[in-house]
Amino acid sequence: MKTGIIDADSAAQASAKLKSKGLFPFELSQDSELTSGKSKKVRRKKVKKSEVNAFTRQLSTLISSGMHITESLAALAEQGGHSELSKIIVDIKEKVSSGSPFSEALADFPRLFSTTYVNLVKAGETGGGLDEIMEELAELGEKQEAIKSKVTAALAYPIIMTLIGVVVMAILFTLVIPQIISIFDNMSESLPLPTRLLISTTNFIHGYWVYQLIVIGLTFFAAYRFYKTKKGKYFFDELLLKIPFVGDMILKVEVSRFARTLSLLLNGGVPVTKALDIVKDVVKNSILSDIIVAAKKNISEGGDIASALKARAVFPPVAIHMISVGEKGGRLEQMLLNVANSFDRDVESVAGALTSILEPVLIVAMGLVVGFIALAVLLPIFEMNLMVG
């Protein structure tokens, strides 16, 4: 027994297609989620970026082998079975079959296919190199996912360690330490300074933990609401770029994304002003996005990209110099690609350095806290032993 989805205009045609493949249908039914006009409202499942990258590469292979776009889409839809992406591919195929350009059909699913993706496909349709464009889009998506994974891996360890440390400290100060320091209740005046500090800290945390949680929650909520404003996002984006190591890594990731996407768009025949307008939305940091907007304005007024990027002193000088050389030599697309490849390598090295630096720092910090607690508990015990002796 097999189940799956097949693209056909009618149940009879679906049955004939299945029989031609040696499959005899036991039951056929139309998928209600694929009916025109309802698909967007019904779909709620998330499609992974890796699935979109795989679809793009497979479509490139099928088109380059000589298959028509509608046949290629139908084959990929059948291959995916009942997956959410397969249903979307069927919807796209129906739009293409009814006369809509492939790029317009993709534009109906902006969460899956970005403006960059759609514009490059449109350029491929116009220029006749759709298979090559799809291959380049697959490589772009895979490289961005690879860099994202490296950055996530570099930041995950310190974040997890910090959270574990906070939880452990909270348990110690609320449950364990109050039990230990209760033996010092009648010795408050003769206790050493570390012990008195530990007792004061423990009493404060243990006695007012509810209010502390409320304050922390309200602080995070206020920060989130502020971040959602234009001014707030600008403030946090600027702050992120100033954090040692982390800011450098974020900047390199954004510059790589900017350079690689712009290179692809220019290679695809997209005008430079329109390409910059698209790239400003690809970049996640609002500081860099504003600089790209300024570069577009400079181009419109007869200037160049490099001088606009240099004005704010945020883009790395090496990237600006390479872009300037590319503009003057008529090799901007290749230079942008060189910038992207260079900064991708830098991100890998910075991510490795970040992990190797933060790991011992966190261990030392937790060791100092535990050491202070041990010292504060043991000092009065040693003093009592000396007095008894």
Per-residue 3-state assignment (H helix, E strand, C coil) for 231-270: HHHHHHHHHHHHCCCHHHHHHHHHHHHHHHHHHHHHHCCC
Report how many domains make up the chain.
2
- pLDDT given for residue 82 in this prediction: 67
Q: Are 71 and 177 found together in one domain?
A: no
Q: Which residue has tokens 């015990």?
A: 381
Torsions phi, psi of 178, nearest 5? -55, -35
Domain contains 121: no
- pLDDT given for residue 214 in this prediction: 93
Q: Are 71 and 161 found together in one domain?
A: no
**Residue from 340, 224, 339, 235 nearest 287 by CA:** 235
Domain contains 3: no
CA dihedral 288, 289, 294, 300 (to 10 degrees): 130
Q: Are 32 and 175 found together in one domain?
A: no
325 is written with which tokens? 């050389």
Domain contains 128: no
Q: Is the dihedral of CA 309, 310, 314, 315 positive or negative?
A: positive
Range of the domain at 95: 11-113
Q: Which residues contact 49 (CB under 8 A, 6 or more apart)?
A: 141, 145
Domain at 83, CATH number: 1.20.81.30
Domain contains 129: no
Domain contains 38: yes
Q: Are 154 and 96 found together in one domain?
A: no
| Cα-trace Rg, the chain | 30
**Residue from 147, 136, 149, 20 nearest 78 by CA:** 20
Q: State the burial class of residue 77 (Cβ atoms within 10 Å of its Cβ: 0-12, 13-18, 19+).
A: buried
pLDDT tens string for the chain (389 positions)?
Answer: 777 777 666 677 777 777 777 787 777 777 655 544 444 444 446 888 888 888 888 988 988 888 888 888 888 888 866 678 888 888 888 888 888 888 889 988 888 888 888 888 887 887 677 888 888 888 888 888 888 887 787 778 778 888 888 888 888 887 778 877 777 766 655 778 888 888 888 888 877 888 888 999 999 999 999 998 989 999 999 998 888 878 888 898 889 889 988 888 888 888 888 888 888 888 888 898 899 988 888 888 888 888 888 888 888 899 999 999 998 888 888 999 899 889 888 888 877 777 778 778 888 888 888 888 888 888 887 776 665 55
Q: Are 107 and 178 found together in one domain?
A: no
**Residue from 106, 151, 372 nearest 250 by CA:** 151
- pLDDT given for residue 335 in this prediction: 92
- Count CB atoms within 10 A of the CB of residue 3: 8
- Count CB atoms within 10 A of the CB of residue 367: 11
- pLDDT given for residue 222 in this prediction: 94
User: Rounded distance, CA 159 to CA 239, Å?
Assistant: 18
- Per-residue CA distances from 33 to 82, 88, 99, 189 (Å): 11, 10, 21, 75
Q: Do 262 and 282 meet the contact criterion of CB atoms below 8 Å apart?
A: no
With vertex at residue 55, the alpha carbon angle to CA 49 and CA 57, rounded to the nearest 5 degrees, is 105
Helices 332-388 and 246-267 sit at what angle, rounded to 10 degrees? 160
Q: Are 63 and 180 found together in one domain?
A: no
Q: Are 268 and 373 found together in one domain?
A: yes
Q: Are 103 and 248 found together in one domain?
A: no
Q: Are 147 and 108 found together in one domain?
A: no
Q: Are 379 and 318 found together in one domain?
A: yes
Domain contains 126: no
Q: Are 174 and 274 found together in one domain?
A: yes
Q: Are 213 and 286 found together in one domain?
A: yes
Q: Do 310 and 320 meet the contact criterion of CB atoms below 8 Å apart?
A: yes
Collapsing DSSP to helix, strand or coil, 105 comes out as helix
User: Rounded distance, CA 331 to CA 106, Å?
Assistant: 31
User: Rounded distance, CA 268 to CA 278, Å?
Assistant: 13
